[in-house]
Structure 1
């Protein structure tokens, strides 16, 4: 029960990897605000811990929506200890055919959304002199994938944003680290597991010879949210099965 009495906000927390992280936090005793435009599967979490789960409709690209999210966490549960910036999107397309709206939506959600959430959460955490901010990157932040220019660029930027935020907020008692998943059989990774012909091309790049599981990403988030990582700041934790 590493997070007993703590309050966490997980954006993108109503399905996929975000929901797996929220479930992991609940199992460790935290109260969790699952932020997303729609509730999706959050009812399953509410059934497991009805007094410690809340869905807050949120658009991470909208500053006021993000302010309302953090204020709700403080008002309902009494504080804000952990933020996980899990909301993300991907719009595939080679550079010559990638549309400007698709580029802008990807950057707005993945990068600007991370900035807005971290900024607003930090204002509450600074007042308390403590907090954990966990951004979410991707193995594609540092590896070339044809057709993923917008996604890869936004995630690479998230990693540098994390390091800079860590340098600024660390002296104020706030640890800022980044979780970088590889191929996971949940969320966006389902497209690979659903297509054996496509997945076989990537499997040889993994030293563990398998796709990751959602709870393994949640375990990484739990580590970064808990006291076990108290002396880690500005780090990118890759959870990718030894991806080349």
Structure 2
């Protein structure tokens, strides 16, 4: 892997859900740009990551389990000698109309996306507070602010994450921790890949994108790199949308 030097050199970064989908692309991009990266994920994705990325590191944890996250962050911080950036990327979706969504599915989405982000923040703050110029980045979605039938649970969870970000940004600013959300539109990776592969659904949404195409995961990774690096020092409490001009 060729490292491209910039302001991310030696930046100590943890990414939850970094073993697959969009999180994986972001993690690989950060590694290429000189950051030191530890991913946090379930055992199967962590095992595969370790096998494929000798420059990276990984620890196992369920983001809905506070004790597991606390242990994972302690281990990650020990390996890296501290933390500068945490990207709360782990998330799930359980599509379906709200009126008939099984309560267990709704709860799973909220626990993973909202509670998982909250617990990740709590686990991260003691280490980020020692950085002097830290970042906490949460993954939102274009669907946090736009109504898409069948995406109710997911949209609600992402709207909650955006409020969490705004509150945490104010509360953590005195500790030199900035808190922002990255909000992708329709992307050719992770959950977006499945949507794009569904012609009846994709044919409905493609005309609403000014760019006329889905975003590439690498384009989202570039924005994550900006939020993690020195050029975003004065960005705080912001939801940065990356969606090609989405209008619906």
When normalised by structure 2's length, the TM-score is 0.93
Contact 1:32 1:53 in 2 (8 A): yes
Deviation at 1:127, TM superposition (A): 3.1
Distance of aligned partners of 1:41 and 1:59 in 2 relative to their CA distance in 1, 3 Å threshold: closer
Instruction: Quote the residue 1:16 is aligned against.
Output: 21
Q: 5 Å matches for 1:115-126?
A: 115-126=118-129
How far does the alpha carbon of each residue in 1:11-65 deviate from its partner, in whole angstroms, 9 at most, with x for none?
A: 11001000011011101111111111134387467545x1x31121110000011
Matched, 1:222 2:235: no
Which of residues 64, 67, 76 in structure 2 aligns to 1:73? 76
Q: 5 Å matches for 1:147-186?
A: 147-186=150-189
Contact 1:36 1:59 in 2 (8 A): yes
Contact 2:41 2:62 in 1 (8 A): yes
When normalised by structure 1's length, the TM-score is 0.95
Instruction: Quote the residue 1:195 is aligned against.
Output: 198
CA–CA separation in structure 2 for the residues paired with 1:70 and 1:27: 22
User: Which runs of structure 1 show a deviation greater than 2 angstroms over 4 or more consecutive aligned residues?
Assistant: 38-48, 127-130, 195-198
Which of residues 136, 140, 145 in structure 2 aligns to 1:142? 145
Q: CA RMSD in A?
A: 1.5
Distance of aligned partners of 1:60 and 1:44 in 2 relative to their CA distance in 1, 3 Å threshold: closer
Which of residues 9, 18, 26 in structure 2 aligns to 1:4? 9
